[in-house]
Amino acid sequence: MKIEIVEDIKDKMKNDNEYVHKVLKEDSVNYKGEKSIIVTPSVFSKIFSPKRISLMLKIKKEEYGSIYKLAKAVNRKYEAVYRDIKLLEGFGIIKIKTKDKAKIPYIDEDIGMVLV
């Protein structure tokens, strides 16, 4: 997963559209299949708060048996951790698997950041 931070989303979209048109005209395509999140600095700071980054680091480091256990480990309310996990899941950063009745958050790929 790649997180791209850009000053202007419209410029990024224009450049990406030009790239797509160029690729469609070519016979061969060199596509890596990497997922990207493209955000401005202000949106980045809203998505990746210090508490959410802390959750991501904990989840990447070790597996917790449930969101409840993760909330206890970071000394936060379950509801707040659940809300943060669901937001990050919505962006494809965190995934959730179900074992018995427990929801277990995990990260299965490296995350990189690019300043564009």
Q: What is the CATH number of domain 2-115?
A: 1.10.10.10
Q: pLDDT tier at 47 (50, 70, 90 boundaries)? A: very high
**What average pLDDT score do residues 7-26 get?**
71
Q: Is the pLDDT of residue 90 over 90?
A: yes
Residue range 48-72: average pLDDT?
Answer: 94
The per-residue pLDDT for 81 is 97
How remote is the C-alpha of 43 from its chain's centroid?
A: 13
- Quote the pLDDT of residue 4: 87
Give bridge partners of residue 97 from the DSSP assignment: 104
